[in-house]
Every structure is written in C-alpha cells, then in structure tokens.
Amino acid sequence: MQNYIQYEIATTPFNPDILSGVLWDLNILGLNEYDNFLTIFSSEDSDVTENLINEKLEALRSEKIINSYKITSTKLQSKNWNEEWEKKLDVIEVSDTIVIKPSFKDYKTKPNQIVITIDPKMSFGTGEHETTKIVLILLEKYFQAGTKILDVGSGTGVLAIASSKLGAKNVIAVDNDEWCSLNGKENIELNNIENINVVLGTIENINDNNFDIILANINKNVLIDIKDELFQKVKNNGLLILSGILQSDEDEIKRQFIRLGLTALETYQINEWIGIVFIKN
C-alpha cells in the first residue's frame, strides 16, 4: 500500500500567499490552507523531504519574511488519507453548470448541471483548491463541442471528466504518478465515461500534436519546463488553459509563453491564484 506524508507548517508571521508560492513549486500532491498554518502532501518516495522544506523556510527567514517556523510531519496510509478527506470534503458547485461531488456525498442534480463524481484518495484535484475551480471556469467558458483535449498532470481526472461531460470528442489525461493515474481511471469509471484515455507518463509520451485545448494545472516551474511541448501539441488557433500559478508569477509566465508565439487572451483570478488562457496564432 502506498504511503504518503503530510507536513503541517506554521510560521510567524503567517503569510499563506508567500508560503503557498514557495511550497507549491516543490513536487507536492496537494496543499490546504487554514487560519494559522497550512498542510502539504507528498508521496513517501518523492523528493520532497523535511530537510528540503527546512531549506525553503530558512531562506524566507534569512530574507526576514518570517521570524520562526515549525514543521510537523505525519505518515499517512491511503486508508488514513481517505478518512481525512471524508471529514472535510463536501459538494462543490464550481459554477451554475459544473458540480463536483465526492462519491460518499448525496446531491440532487439540477437541470442542465454536469455532476462529476470523484473518489479523491491521494490525488490532487478535488475542486476545493482555487486552481481547479479556475481551470473549470475557463474550460466551460471557452469549450466547444467536439473538441480534442489533453489534460496534463491530470490527478483525480476531474478536468478530463469535465471535458468529456461538456461534450469533448476525445480526451487524453496524462500524469507521471502511478497512484494518481490509477485514481483517475477509477473516477472515470465512476462517471461511466468511455472517451478518456489515461496515460501514465509525461507530456513527452503523448504523440498527438493536434489538440484543440490543453489543460495544465501544475505549477510555475513545471509549466515553464514543458512550455515547448505544450506549444507543439496544441493546434493552430488552439488554446492552452494554464493554472497552478500565483498572481505574482503572472508576468513571468506570460513572457515565457508569448515568446513562443502565443497570445494571452485572459487572466482569471481567485484569491492569490490565477489561470491564463493562451491562443496559438
């Protein structure tokens, strides 16, 4: 059984915006903010360690952004993870159309609603985090029926499932984490969807270069690392919908992608997080 580690991080003063930005750039699976601390999650075999987190926090202390900090780590088995999520997850109405419902919650569907049922386990993308909501809102706005969509870093599969339920012709969901890939497949089955192909790997493993829309809710550093592949795989006049980006990183992301020949169409913001829509001219 796969094990995970939860790190609870408290700082004085507590600035969740700065902390989220620093920690989000690590290879974490999820992040939750609370009143005076935040938690991040990583798989036990990932390169995220308490020493690495210490280095990041020491850098903030040396810059006098924080005065002190405390890290508490807890090992979680998948069963413990599910129990923790079931305590706090609820139905999320992302928009008038898109609803995300945990498998253990009841919900009466309203007319014209798309309900996505998920069993989140340890994958990121429950709809709770601002970045997931941002991508879904932008996807709904720019979506056209019959499109071909690639979801990079697909996690629970919620973005891929939403794409299919909105009317995509076919969808590819790629994630380099085996557990996320398996969880995505389970959620696709929960929603009785047959036109999503789940790929264990990276965007480099995707041979198709003709996607109408590519969704990537990851983080700034990874987005910059894979920018060339994203550009190559979206068709002319196709869209990139990117998130996992802090508002403070907007200018850098725009510079990196506009340099490739893309045009920024829109920036959408919830709290400190943003999503950017680019079109390939």
Q: Where are the domains of the chain?
A: 4-78, 90-280
> Rounded mean pLDDT of 13-33?
80
pLDDT at 194: 95
- Strand-pairing partners, residue 173, are 151, 198
Please enumerate, as own/partner, the contacts of 11-20 that have beta carbons within 8 Å and a separation of 24 or more: 11/57, 11/60, 11/66, 11/68, 11/69, 11/70, 12/66, 12/67, 12/68, 12/69, 13/66, 13/67, 15/65, 15/66, 17/246, 17/272, 18/60, 18/65, 19/60, 20/246, 20/272
Tokens of residue 56, six digits: 């990041």
pLDDT at 238: 98
Task: Using the predicted structure, report yes or no on whether residue 123 has a pLDDT greater than 70.
Answer: no
If pLDDT is split at 50, 70 and 90, which confidence band does 15 have?
confident
Task: Please provide the average confidence, as pLDDT, over all residues in the chain.
Answer: 89
Cα–Cα nearest to 136, from 115, 119, 105 = 115
> Rounded mean pLDDT of 52-63?
93
pLDDT at 47: 87
If pLDDT is split at 50, 70 and 90, which confidence band does 125 have?
low
Q: Per mean pLDDT, which range of 65-74, 90-99, 125-134 is the poorest?
A: 125-134
If pLDDT is split at 50, 70 and 90, which confidence band does 80 have?
low
Which CATH number fits the domain 4-78, given the four candidates 3.20.10.10, 3.30.70.100, 3.30.450.20, 3.40.350.10? 3.30.70.100
pLDDT at 236: 97
Q: What is the dihedral of CA 225, 230, 233, 239, to 10 degrees?
A: 180
Tokens of residue 270, six digits: 């919830």
Q: Are 126 and 158 in contact (CB under 8 A)?
A: yes
Question: Are both 4-78 and 90-280 of the same fold?
Answer: no
C-alpha 140, offset from chain centre: 16
Distance between CA atoms of residues 132 and 226, nearest Å: 19
> Rounded mean pLDDT of 252-267?
98
Q: Are 190 and 117 in contact (CB under 8 A)?
A: yes
> Rounded mean pLDDT of 126-155?
92
Q: Are 253 and 215 in contact (CB under 8 A)?
A: no
If pLDDT is split at 50, 70 and 90, which confidence band does 120 have?
low
Q: Per mean pLDDT, which range of 26-40, 54-68, 136-150, 212-226 is the poorest?
A: 26-40
The helix or strand, by DSSP H or E, that contains position 73, with its residue range, turns out to be: strand 68-77
Cα–Cα nearest to 136, from 146, 123, 149, 127 = 127
pLDDT at 103: 86
Tokens of residue 253, six digits: 């992301």
> Rounded mean pLDDT of 111-129?
77
> Rounded mean pLDDT of 86-97?
83
Fold of 90-280: Rossmann fold (3.40.50)
Distance between CA atoms of residues 186 and 239, nearest Å: 28
pLDDT at 81: 58
Q: Are 240 and 216 in contact (CB under 8 A)?
A: yes
How buried is residue 188: exposed, middle or buried, by Cβ count under 10 Å (0-12/13-18/19+)? Answer: buried
